[in-house]
Amino acid sequence: MTEMQDQPRTRERLAVDVRKATLGDLPALTAALARAFDDDPLVNWMAARDSRRARRVYDAMDLSLRDLSFRHGEVYTTDGIHGGALWAPPGEWKMGLLQQLLLTPKMTRITTWRRLPAVMGGINAVEKKHPPRPHFYLFVLGTDTEHQGKGVGTQLMAPVLDRCDREGIPAYLESSKERNVPLYERNGFKVTEVFQVPNGGPPLWLMWRDPR
């Protein structure tokens, strides 16, 4: 998918206690991510731009959390729900045909029936760009708007990146904003390709991180 994260570092760093998200965190975390992704190019390409757009963005974050990420046990947030990092472990990121079919009703609430084939075609094209080597996939990274630019995103990534370094596992992500690329570069990622999402989608900066 994508992520929306820190603005350039112009504010004082905010130290947060990062922990794994619980089921009880999901409503507040979904709302925080919806605010973070309100201007995200990929999410706004997926979400139909009508009077329900804000709700469609919220539904996209709800699907990302409840249906695609939480079951893996690698969703991280803070006590104050400053934001979230949603990871998929190696080999667990790909949506199979059955899973896509089961998620169709929720996807239509995000994008409408008319646009669903184009959106799913774009998502499948992005999935095909994943490197074949096993990796942790940073599916979503978002900081609530009032906390952006304070280093929260780096802290949210740290538990899994530290694990990657200990266990020798690479990490991968797609950034939907060029201005966020330096944040990921500071954390060891490198751009491997700029990929244009088909069917009218935005460019994505594909980034890979070898373990340190």
> Does the residue 66 lie in any domain?
yes
**Domain for residue 7, yes or no?**
no
| Residue 135: inside a domain | yes
Decide if 9 is inside a domain: no
- For residue 88, report the phi and psi dihedrals to the nearest 5 degrees: -120, 130
11, part of any domain = no
The pTM of this model reads 0.90
Residue 9 has pLDDT above 50, yes or no: no
Domain hosting 119: range is 18-209
Q: What is the pLDDT of residues 39-69, one digit of tens each?
A: 999 999 999 888 899 999 999 999 999 998 9
In a domain, 8, yes or no: no
Question: Model confidence over 146-191: pLDDT tens digits?
Answer: 888 889 999 999 999 999 999 999 999 999 999 999 999 999 999 9
pLDDT recorded at residue 90: 94
Contact assessment for residue 34 and residue 58, using Cβ atoms and an 8 Å cutoff = yes
Integer Cα distance of 34 and 43 in angstroms: 10
Number of structural domains (the chain) is 1
Question: DSSP state, 111?
Answer: H
Q: Find the CATH number of the domain harbouring 113.
A: 3.40.630.30
Q: Is 139 inside any structural domain?
A: yes
Q: How far apart are CA 44 and CA 47, in angstroms?
A: 5
